[in-house]
Structure 1
Amino acid sequence: MDMHKDTSPTQGRSVAGQPAVTSEYLTFRLGAEEYGIDILRVQEIRSYEEPTRIANAPHFIKGVVNLRGVIVPVVDLRIKLGCEKVEYNDFTVVIVLNVRGRVVGAVVDSVSDVLELASELIKPAPEMNTTMDTSFITGIASVGERMLILMDIEALMSSPDMGLMDSGSQSLQ
């Protein structure tokens, strides 16, 4: 039995003596901004390949890809969120997500890393009077010099304007 184990009251605990609540986020870049999404929604990360275009799809839906027998719609988050520049290069990746039982791909500029964030590092997103829907932004986290915009990717991907989920939240046939 190791008697020299560190049992200081601050180890792994918040100031109030309660266990620190942490969540893991996959961080990625869209233009100059860095975003974070719940790692539990991420199925895999793939290099970008040109999807098969679907006629009359919204401009931010690039098309579909066949992922091991599953037809997966691919959304370019850069277009959806209004990035100034949308460039496809060696860093462009597709984050494959599982949203409400449906597999969806999200194109981003690059993936940064996985961060574990304590809840006290996350501040509420500021209220903004804008025509753009910002309800999917759950908070802002400062990590060193980095400012992360945390988003509820499930809320964004299942929003009515995406057209990926029906009103019953079941996958479309």
Structure 2
Amino acid sequence: MAAKIETMENDKKQYIVITFGNEQYGIDISYVDNIVRMQKITRVPKAQPYFKGVINLRGEVVPVMSLRLKMGLEDDVFTNTSRIIILKIEQKGVLGIIVDEVKEVVTLGSEEIDKVAHNPKDVKSTFINGIGKNGDDLISLFDISSVVDEKENS
């Protein structure tokens, strides 16, 4: 019996819950390197529209992307809750994504996550690989590899 409980524990993943407007999204915490306050973003010429530019993070130049623009939402409005989440991605290095707010960390087991079907007409759905249920809240879970993919969404 003890072995069964152990496998269920390993099945759980932690997600950082962020918001865009009134929608909640989850980012697998294993990708998150750091969360920093908004700071001056230096524009980079000829970058895709969703790339806001670069920041200097303790001497390291980190590209910063607007997840809102990448998902086809309206542009970011920076408030005192806006944050840049620094993601560490194998083969791609470090990337910052701008979010409206970081809410909390939740732990979800596989039984609390529903897989979603990809809808080619909905740009947002390309970045989501599941819906997590945390109490009464639904959290769209980002597929980080498709979020950081460079290809243009047409």
Normalised by the shorter chain, which TM-score bucket?
Answer: 0.7 to 0.9
Distance in 2 of aligned mates of 1:75 and 1:42: 15
Q: Does 1:66 align with 2:52?
A: no
Structure of greater Rg: 1
Distance in 2 of aligned mates of 1:128 and 1:77: 18
With normalisation by structure 1, the TM-score equals 0.77
In the TM superposition, what is the alpha-carbon distance from 1:18 to its structure 2 partner?
5.2
Q: Does 1:84 align with 2:89?
A: no
Equivalent position of 1:148 in the other structure: 139
Structure having the higher helix fraction is 2
Distance in 1 of aligned mates of 2:90 and 2:7: 32
Equivalent position of 2:114 in the other structure: 123
Q: Does 1:46 align with 2:30?
A: no
Structure 2 stretches lacking a partner, 5+ long: none
Number of matched residues? Answer: 150
Q: Deviations over 1:71-111 (max 9, x none)?
A: 11000111211223621110110000101241100000000
1:134 is paired with a residue whose SS is helix
Query: How many percent of aligned residue pairs carry the same amino acid?
Result: 32
Q: Does 1:22 align with 2:12?
A: yes
Distance in 1 of aligned mates of 2:76 and 2:55: 19
Distance in 2 of aligned mates of 1:123 and 1:158: 23
Structure 1 stretches lacking a partner, 5+ long: 1-8, 163-173
Output the aligned Cα RMSD. Answer: 2.3
Equivalent position of 1:4 in the other structure: none
**1:7-18 to 2 correspondences below 5 Å:** 13=5
Distance in 1 of aligned mates of 2:33 and 2:142: 17
1:19 is paired with a residue whose SS is helix
With normalisation by structure 2, the TM-score equals 0.86
